[in-house]
Amino acid sequence: MNPYTRLLIVAAIAAALGGCGKIEGLFKDEKPVSTVAIPAQANGQVAMLLPDFTLLVEREGPSVVNIQASRADSTPRQSELPIPVPEDDPLYEFFRRFMPPNAQQDPAPAQDSVSFGSGFVFSQDGYILTNAHVVSGSSQIKVMLTDKREMRARLIGLDKRTDVAVLKIDAANLPTVKIGTPDALKVGEWVAAIGAPFGFENTVTAGIVSAKGRSLPDESYVPFIQTDVAINPGNSGGPLFNLKGEVVGINSQIYSRSGGFMGISFAIPIDLAMKVADQLKTSGKVSRGQLGVHIQEVSKELAQSFGLDRPRGALVVRVEPQGPASKAGLLVGDIILRLNGQVVENSRDLPRMVGDQPPGATIKLGVWRKGSERNIDATLIELPGEQLATPQGNNSPALPQSYRFDQLGLTLSELSAEDKEALGVRGGLVIQQAQGVSAQAGLQNGDVIIGLNQMEISNIRSFERALQNAKGNIALLVRRQDSTLYVPLRLN
C-alpha cells in the first residue's frame, strides 16, 4: 500500500475517533513503523501524522555495527607548551604558534590514529557493508555488535570510486538487514539512519528524502540520495532505512562548513552498493567498462550551436587515441544521447552507465552529429585503477604572427610543428589575447582552439571558413593545459 494512502486512512480513523495517540496494529503485514496522530484543535481535527520508528529500531537495530579502524600515525605529537594553557583559552593559539616547546622534554612517541564509523550486516555469515573511507589504509579493524561482542574484521575489498567497502567477521546466524529499492523512494518520504555519530553507538536519527540522483564534485559514479537526516562523523557507512524497514542507502557524506551536521546529507543507493559488494566478495576488486572519451555538459547555448532541440546528452570534447571510442568512430563534437536505448539526459549519467557495463561488452550509442542522429557500436575495455594526478605545466605557446577577429574579441596565432607535437594535436590556433565577448565567455590567453562547432580547426584559413558557415551561436573547442572543453560564443 502506498505510504501516503496509508497515512490518510490512519488520519481518517483518528479524526473519526475524535482523539489522538499512538495507532498501532492496523497494518501489521506491511511496515514496522506506526504513526502518531497529533490534533491541532480542540475539536480533534488532525494536523499531521508523524512516523514512530520504535518497531523499526527494535527489528533492524541489531544488524547495525560500530567500526573502529586503526591506522599507523607517522606524525609525532608535539610536546606540550612550556606554559600550561587550556585549549579553550583565547591565548592558546598564540602560545602554540609562537612559544617554542620545552626543549628538555622528549617529544611524545607516534601513536596509532583511530577512525570511527558504522556498518551493517548483509549476510548471516558475517559480511558487512561500510564506507571505503572509514577503513581505507587501516592496519586493524574492530567491529562491535549490539550484543556487546567485539570482533576483528578482515577487509575483503574496497572501491574508492563509490566509497563502498566489504568486511568479514567470523560469526554465524547474524541478524541481517533487508535490502530495499532506491528507485521506489520519493522525495519527501520519511527515512531513518542508525549509526554511531561521534562514537555514540546505536543512535537513531530521522528525516525525509530531500532529492534523488544528486551528483557531487569528483563523484562520477554515484547518484546520491540527499536527505535532511542528521548525519555526523561516525555515521559514515551506516544504513539508511525506509518506512518498510528496508535499507535503501549507505550514509556516506555530509555538506558542512563546521564539520558537523547542517541539514544536508548524502547516501549511496543500496542497489549500486550491492553490485559493488558482489564483485568485491567474488574477486576483491571492481571491474568497470571504459569508453575512452572526455565529456562535458550540454548547455543551452551549446545545444543551439549544435542544432539540438534542447540541452541534453554528453558532449564529447576529447577521444582517447586507440581507445574503444576512437576505434568505433566517435568524433570530437558528437553528443551521446543514448546508451543501449537508455536516455543520457546529463553528462554525469554517462560514466555511471558505462561503468555498469563489464569490460568486453559491446554497447550501442545513439549519437547526435551534424544535425542528425546515428547509431555507433563500441566494445569497452577495462577502466584502469585510480591514478594520482600529476601537475601539468603550461604548454600553451605564443607565436609572433597574429590574426585579429574583432567580432569575437580574439587575437590568434597558428601553432608550429613543435607546438602541435607537444600538445598532442594535429593543428589549432593559440589565443594571444581574449577580450570582449570572448573574455566574458571564459576564454583565456594561451588557450588553443582546435575546433569550431563540429569542424576541426588546423589553421587560420580553416577557422575563417568555419566561421563563415556558422549561423547564430558558435562553440569553440579549446585545449587548456591537459583539459578540453567547448566554450559557447554568441555572434552579433
Distance in angstroms (rounded) separating the CA atoms of residues 331 and 340: 19
Taking alpha carbons only, the member of 438, 435, 419 closest to residue 427 is 419
Q: What is the DSSP letter of 62?
A: G
The Cα angle at residue 363 between residues 360 and 369, in degrees rounded to 5: 135
The answer to whether 377 is a known catalytic residue is: no
Distance in angstroms (rounded) separating the CA atoms of residues 219 and 400: 42
The answer to whether 236 is a known catalytic residue is: yes
Q: Which residue has the cell 561521534?
A: 198
CA distances from 35 to 11, 19, 48, 54 (A): 9, 14, 10, 10
C-alpha cell at 236: 559514515
Which residue is catalytic, options 34, 63, 133, 447?
133
Which residues in 351-362 are b (16+ Cβ under 10 Å) and which e? bbbbbbbeeeee
C-alpha cell at 170: 567470523
End-to-end CA distance of the chain: give it in Å, rounded: 58
CB 130 within 8 A of CB 165: yes
Q: What is the DSSP letter of 284?
A: S
The answer to whether 133 is a known catalytic residue is: yes
What is the residue-wise DSSP string for 101-158? P-TTSPPBPP--EEEEEEEEEEETTTEEEE-HHHHTT-SEEEEE-TTS-EEEEEEEEE
Distance in angstroms (rounded) separating the CA atoms of residues 98 and 349: 51
CB 108 within 8 A of CB 191: no
Which residue is catalytic, options 34, 63, 118, 163?
163
Which residue is catalytic, options 236, 305, 413, 458?
236
Beta-strand runs (E) in 217-259: 219-227, 239-241, 246-254
Distance in angstroms (rounded) separating the CA atoms of residues 356 and 216: 19
C-alpha cell at 363: 554497447
Q: What is the dihedral of CA 317, 318, 323, 328, to 10 degrees?
A: 40
Q: Which residue has the cell 520508528?
A: 53
Distance in angstroms (rounded) separating the CA atoms of residues 93 and 226: 37
Q: How many CB atoms lie within 10 A of CB 462?
A: 17
Strands 140-144, 203-216: pairing is unpaired
Task: Return the H-helix or E-strand segment holding 489.
Answer: strand 483-490
Q: Give the residue numbers marked as catalytic.
A: 133, 163, 236
